[in-house]
Structure 1
């Protein structure tokens, strides 16, 4: 009998290196064809991206041993981090609130707000914020368009490749668009975010922001890395949530806490898409300040704990790709990650209509989802710690949160300490669902 030819890198019989390129860390997991993880490596994400990628892939592939065949590299990326949005509007409070509502759950972070006519110093300050996009507002329908048209003209003449989200009154949109296009700006037009005084309609613009984020998050989109990483990490983890729901036979919520963003994915066992939200202001490195601010606003952290965590948050924001130096630092990392997970889950459930917004006075709509979610999974590099008691404490923080209890009922909360969610999603997306199912079933607790 003739022996079958050795498996090539594109053959499902070959091992695969599942690569997750984050804004701070590049992680690689070698997965054998039967779904067994055989090696893990990580490397700080390098400025050129590829140096860290090559180092992580080589270290993980070395665990394959001889005769295993050349592994195929399956990659996802969140190297771009959150989409940085600068808001330019007519009135400070309204522009600030509109910007935060538009960016929330869409992968974006507000990095600056300017109100009134843009002058030279304001334009320079905007450029220093390094926006990935500018949200241009004009006020209520029928308002005097003079400030809007002035700002559109200034933005058209400003250096920088960032696109403009033009979310203004129908009556002024065409003139503002002409000015921006004449300056060579890429423009996405949207309905007015502030159609009436005091009213904010964020949904359509939030969708446009999410679409920009999906392209931005990949990071360096050209060359070898662009060909390698064609999907965002949030999409890969979403695919894994869908597989996990099918494997477990229950509704699943997956919370992926990263250095700069925190994502939530809801998968259902039957037909239906995975719903996802991405929080661009929550993370455990350069998003750490946002975690602490939002945790206080949500009443999750009291002033005493906020003061205690403050120095750690300031250090983490500057540290980027670091590992905790001692048990105390590791505990602070886990605490911030658990808090980020709670805030992100609350936002996700509000975004999908399960929980009411704070202060609305409504009872929420907890009942329809209670019992539908049987499993909540916390994932992300911060949870790759060998401290069972510490990880259990992080899970308890989520399980016993007052705002989540009614919505999630008796759902089990587990921690993906082996970092198998993103690899499973990559495997499933590349026609290796059997391996993905095996990986999740064997290596995810619960």
Structure 2
């Protein structure tokens, strides 16, 4: 019998699904509905039922009954993660890379020893996860233990993933658990100054994703019907880019949503010539950046503000004003769909801003600095 699969993604704005004939590599049906943020399972069921009904009609009851079910989610833009490290250019940046590659959205970064004011800000930010890093293996352990103490005595309710100096990991986890915090240990994301290891931290964050998104947001029943554990959408796309990039010379993927715009690229690391010295962390082959201020619905107003100067040049002052009004409507009513050519033109312009700005930020810049020798 032909094998079929149903894959559904719960996004911050829309819940989308697709049914596929795996043997024939053919799409059977696509469905979508506005995400029901008060109960994510309701939108899932609407999409799922539509896909199953079509599959039953086209391929028979046995095919519909035997179809594998897969789920991914980036509802609310993904898990909010705070990254804490030792040095901004090293462990903090490595922590941001690990969080991004795991499908999280960085909502704050902190370096060195946490102060009382830092802790108050962290408490107010309400992250889903705190990624606590710092120190190479066998290196400095004072700073990260200080930060563990600060977090343990705080009022934060976020889960903590420890991915720092492995020589003090047991001590740090004991401190956090004694303070009533949910804490998980992972391999050091920066075991040596010139080596990054984010796979273990990614796995821990994925575990917490299942708990926070699935159990905490009404999807436990859905999870039990799935053929595999649900995945954070960004992590699933990252893995896809990694696999696809093995056979491609270069690859660029844009995932533009209602809340964020994610950019993935696969390319060989930046190479320096012999007469230049490259400072900073080594670049990986697969890269992901997430722009939390660029989106077509929840973040539409900020997107319009970001592209204001460009809009005035292309659309004129009156057109820029219309863009701002459309963005305000889109942010207030994220389920909205353009109803005419003019609204579609404005929505397309927002998309152009998301694409242009996100790729520009993803690429970054190289700064030339002359040294004494």
Unaligned runs of 5+ in 2: 268-284
Distance in 2, Cα, partners of 1:12 & 1:339: 43
C-alpha distance 122-255 of structure 1, shift in aligned 2 (>3 A): closer
Does the 8 Å CA contact 1:95/1:113 hold for their aligned counterparts? no
Residue 322 of structure 2 corresponds to residue 323 of structure 1: no
TM-score (norm. length: structure 2): 0.62
The answer to whether the aligner puts 1:57 opposite 2:48 as a matched pair is yes
Select 1:22's aligned residue among 1, 11, 14: 11
Q: C-alpha separation between the residues in 1 aligned to 2:245 and 2:171?
A: 49
What's 2:279 paired with?
A: none
CA contact (8 A) 1:39 1:61 kept: no
Map residues 227-376 of structure 1 onto 2, 5 A cutoff. 227=224, 228=226, 230-232=229-231, 233-234=233-234, 253-261=252-260, 262-264=262-264, 275=286, 277=288, 279=290, 281=292, 283-286=295-298, 303-305=309-311, 308=320, 316-342=330-356, 357-361=364-368
Aligned to 2:127: 131
Contact 1:87–1:96 (Cα < 8 Å) also in 2: yes
Deviation, structure 1 residue 52: 0.9
Aligned Cα RMSD in Å? Answer: 5.0
- 1:22-68: CA deviation from partner (whole Å, max 9, x where unpaired): 23211123445745545432122223322111111223344457473
- Hey, what's the Cα distance between the residues in 2 that align with 1:99 and 1:173? 16
Select 1:48's aligned residue among 36, 39, 50: 39
TM (norm. structure 1) is: 0.54
Equivalent-residue separation in structure 2 for 1:361 and 1:170 (angstroms): 35
Residues 6, 19 of structure 2: 8 Å contact kept = yes
Structure 1 residue 162 corresponds to structure 2 residue 187: no
Spell out, residue by residue over 1:271-296, the C-alpha distance to the aligned partner (whole angstroms, 9 max, x if none): xxx95636263543345578679xx6
| Displacement after TM superposition at 1:84 (Å) | 1.1
* Distance of 2:291 and 2:254 partners within structure 1: 14
CA distance in structure 1 between the partners assigned to 2:187 and 2:58 by the alignment? 56
Secondary structure of 2:81's partner? strand
SS of corresponding position for 1:220: helix
Secondary structure, aligned partner of 1:230: coil
3-state DSSP class of the match of 2:59? coil
In structure 1, runs of 5+ residues without a counterpart are 1-10, 268-273, 351-356, 363-446
CA contact 2:86–2:133 (8 Å) conserved in 1:
yes
